[in-house]
Amino acid sequence: MEFLMTAAIVIFEIIAVVDVLRGFLPIVKKLLWIILIVCVPVVGIVLYFLIGRPEYQEAKQV
Q: Mention every residue, 6+ apart, whose C-beta is less than 8 A from residue 24.
A: 54
Give the pLDDT mean for 45-57: 84
- The Cα–Cα gap between 41 and 43 comes to 6
| Ranges of each domain in the chain | 25-53
- Taking only the tens place, the pLDDT of each residue in 4-44 is 999 999 999 999 999 999 988 899 999 999 999 999 999 99
pLDDT of amino acid 59:
45
| Rg, Å, the chain Cα set | 14
DSSP letters for 42-55:
HHHHHHIIIIISPP
Report which of 3, 9, 14 is spatially closest to residue 43, judged by C-alpha positions. Answer: 9
Q: Which amino acid is at 45?
A: I
pLDDT at 13: 96
